[in-house]
Structure 1
Amino acid sequence: MVSRMFRMETGVDKERHRLLRARLRAANAEASAALREMRGTPLEQEEPLGVWVIGDAGELVGGLTGHTWGRWLHVGLLWVAEEFRGAGVGGRLLAEAERVAVERGCRNSRLETWDFQAPAFYRQQGYDVVCVIPDYPEGHKEFTLTKRLG
């Protein structure tokens, strides 16, 4: 018999986070079995992606991190040093990540950015706004953008 008693806890717990992620992935894999067979895509197979720009002295000039999953590239972070902004470095980082993603079988890309970051930059790179969340954080907007690759 399953106990119906429980207690709530709060706080950061890396081991519980790892366990939660593993259990959610297992549930997603089971639920998406039919879709995987139809499309031939292992949805549970997330692969990290990183692209780096290194200066002459070995310093980090820019970088992009994200992952590919379910035939999508998800850009998590993109940063370019102040002195290199406006020189095409960000566009080249994004283009290289998209190239790698296409090699991995991705057909689309997605990312999130805020109004105080770079929505106009991403639109210039061919991304379309698909969602705007007002007041996140308060007084600002978060944008979700996508792009068809290939």
Structure 2
Amino acid sequence: MFRLETEVDKARRDLLRKRLRDTDTAASPVLRALRGTSGERENPLHVWAMDDFGGLAGGLVGHTWASWLHVGYLWVDERHRGTGLGSRLLAHAEHLAATERACASARVETWDFQAPDFYRKQGYEVVCEIPDYPPGITEYTLVKKLVTRHR
């Protein structure tokens, strides 16, 4: 007999994540090779652009994992859009990921009304398109090979 619960429980969430990671690691030679290395963990990678008054002009929040940069959020304040700031934030994150963290690729998810064309102009290619996620919107996953130069 099982009892199903829906409460938010951080300890159980962490236990479930650990058990899933252990199962995945046992099944995958690639994940086994990462075990115990810095590539095993998601390492935050943030890039901030501050204006002359100390205000946030834009930023990128992401992480690196298993030789990949994952861009979670990229935002530029309306006053600074069209200035190349978004391209500079992304290029800087890609550079750090490639040169300091040995990342070979980058990925991002974006909606049709956000920035798929921006990412295409930066060299990203669409590898997945999910219509109606959420309803009426299309989500894209884009990837890019990074130029890796080790220190």
Instruction: State the TM-score bracket (shorter-chain normalisation).
Output: 0.7 to 0.9
For normalisation by structure 1, the TM-score amounts to 0.87
The residue aligned with 2:104 is 107
Partners in 2 of 1:14 and 1:59 — Cα distance?
34
Matched, 1:31 2:32: no
% identity of equivalent residues: 58
Q: How many residues align?
A: 145
User: Residue 53 of structure 2 is aligned with which of 54, 57, 76?
Assistant: 57
Aligned-pair RMSD on alpha carbons? 2.1
User: Residue 120 of structure 2 is aligned with which of 123, 133, 136?
Assistant: 123
The residue aligned with 1:148 is 145
* SS of residue matched to 2:49: strand
Amino acid at match of 2:104: R
For normalisation by structure 2, the TM-score amounts to 0.86
**Shift of residue 55, structure 1, vs aligned partner:** 1.1
Unpaired runs of at least 5, structure 1: none
**Could you report, residue by residue, the CA deviation over 1:27-57 in whole angstroms, capped at 9, with x for unpaired residues?**
333333x326778994523211111001111
Amino acid at match of 1:12: V
User: Residue 92 of structure 2 is aligned with which of 90, 96, 107?
Assistant: 96
Deviant stretches of 4+, over 6 Å: 37-41
Amino acid at match of 2:3: R
**Could you report, residue by residue, the CA deviation over 1:50-70 in whole angstroms, capped at 9, with x for unpaired residues?**
110011111111111111111
Partners in 2 of 1:105 and 1:81 — Cα distance?
30
